[in-house]
């Protein structure tokens, strides 16, 4: 007998919460379809086109018939290029056999948590955090354990608080640097302190390279007991290419490979050729994009400080600012939609990123300086009416 499909969807599926930023985006698109002019400061997607060398490499692969399955771990040439990149940038020696090419960083996250989390296991997360982390953990019947991170501390973990949150069921500590939604970037000293806690670390470094000011680090400089989730979407403006990677301790790779074979088979072959070009031929393109992001970051922070909602510590990475609007609202979800409907500016409510994100709004500066200025003008006028 068939189940009632509407009522009897698995509890595992029903437990997945919506990704609120997509709800905001979809509402904004509906408004635009009706002729409204909306400024998009909600979505975390580069507004730049994919650099030409990447497109040419992929088109060349397509023209050459390079459209078949690859090794389940990914093309060896790409894994070697990633290993070489980590050696050049961070001084970290990797074997290509530690690297798994995935169809975006999200499948990589699923592979990582699948080999780490048993039913009832705990994963420590910062609060606020990337909205999807808890859903991955709960989907695998694990339990997220939230550690509040404060704006006064630059939204970074305190090792002492993390140590108190850890227990016998702790499977991993989740780290995100540069961070979504806060733009926080951990220093080498701070990463070493977290590595010294002797927990398995899952380090989401998908915004790697988008750092403004002093140099950045990977957790692999400080411990081998770590998984790194990386990707090409953000730094190379390749979101639609759906290509990422995982760097794993060697003893986990075979299990992850078997999951990859069954769940995804492999990442797209011609996209992998584009990624090789990204790593070997696009340093200039990346530098130009990072410079423009930094110009936007500095302008946005200046405006938010003038308005009186800037974070306590300037964010140094990714392309986000988490602004404190607690003097205006304790319901960031309703407030974000009010701003969208009245000011025609799309922003992400802080509650999308956890309870400690309440009273905040996330602004993305992955948009032109002209649009950011327009959005800030509209927001400032809206907030003046709230006083």
State the pLDDT at residue 6: 54
Provide the whole-model pTM: 0.94
CA separation for the pair 174, 129 (Å, rounded): 9
Domains recognised in the chain with CATH numbers: 11-49+284-386 (3.90.1150.10), 52-281 (3.40.640.10)
CA separation for the pair 100, 14 (Å, rounded): 30
b/e code 39-53 from CB counts within 10 Å (16+ = b): bbbbbbbbbeebbeb
Cβ neighbors of 59 (< 8 A, separation 6 or more) are none
State the pLDDT at residue 5: 56
Query: What does the pLDDT profile of the chain (387 residues) look like in tens digits?
Result: 455 555 578 888 888 888 889 999 999 999 999 999 999 999 999 999 999 999 999 999 999 999 999 999 999 999 999 999 999 999 999 999 999 999 999 999 999 999 999 999 999 999 999 999 999 999 999 999 999 999 999 999 999 999 999 999 999 999 999 999 999 999 999 999 999 999 999 999 999 999 998 789 999 999 999 999 999 999 999 999 999 999 999 999 999 999 999 999 999 999 999 999 999 999 999 999 999 999 999 999 999 999 999 999 999 999 999 999 999 999 999 999 999 999 999 999 999 999 999 999 999 999 999 999 999 999 999 999 986
State the pLDDT at residue 386: 83
How are strands ordered across the β-sheet holding 170-176? 99-102, 244-247, 226-231, 201-204, 170-176, 122-127, 143-148
């Amino acid at each position: 007998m068939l189940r009632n499909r509407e009522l009897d969807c698995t509890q595992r599926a029903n437990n997945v919460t919506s990704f609120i930023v997509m709800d905001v985006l979809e509402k904004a698109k509906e408004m635009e379809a009706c002729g409204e002019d909306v400024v998009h400061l909600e979505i975390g997607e580069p507004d730049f086109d994919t650099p030409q060398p990447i497109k040419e490499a992929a088109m060349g692969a397509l023209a050459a018939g390079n459209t078949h399955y690859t090794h389940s771990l990914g093309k060896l040439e790409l894994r070697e290029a990633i290993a070489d990149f980590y050696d050049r940038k961070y001084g970290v020696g990797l074997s290509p056999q530690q690297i798994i090419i995935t169809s975006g960083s999200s499948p990589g996250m699923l592979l990582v948590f699948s080999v780490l989390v048993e039913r009832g296991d705990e994963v420590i997360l910062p609060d606020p955090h990337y909205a999807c982390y808890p859903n991955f953990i709960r989907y695998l019947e694990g339990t997220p354990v939230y550690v509040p991170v404060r704006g006064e501390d630059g939204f970074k973990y305190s090792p002492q608080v993390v140590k108190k949150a850890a227990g016998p069921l702790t499977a991993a500590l989740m780290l995100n640097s540069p961070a979504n939604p806060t733009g926080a970037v951990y220093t080498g000293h701070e990463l070493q302190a977290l590595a010294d806690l002797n927990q398995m670390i899952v380090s989401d470094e998908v915004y790697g390279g988008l750092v403004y000011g002093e140099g950045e680090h990977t957790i692999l400089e400080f411990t081998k007991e770590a998984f790194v989730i990386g990707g090409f979407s953000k730094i190379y403006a390749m979101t639609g290419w759906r290509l990422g990677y995982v760097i794993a301790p060697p003893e986990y790779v075979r299990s992850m490979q078997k999951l990859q074979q069954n769940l995804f088979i492999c990442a797209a072959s011609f996209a992998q050729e584009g990624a090789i070009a990204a790593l070997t031929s696009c340093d200039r393109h990346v530098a130009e994009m990072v410079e423009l992001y930094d110009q936007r970051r500095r302008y946005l922070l200046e405006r938010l400080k003038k308005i009186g909602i800037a974070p306590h510590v300037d964010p140094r990475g990714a392309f986000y600012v988490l602004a404190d609007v607690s003097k205006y609202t304790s319901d960031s979800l309703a407030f974000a939609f009010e701003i969208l409907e009245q000011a025609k500016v799309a922003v992400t409510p802080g509650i999308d990123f956890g309870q400690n994100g309440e009273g905040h709004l996330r602004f993305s500066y992955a948009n032109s300086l002209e649009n950011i200025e327009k959005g800030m003008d509209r927001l400032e006028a809206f907030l003046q009416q709230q006083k």
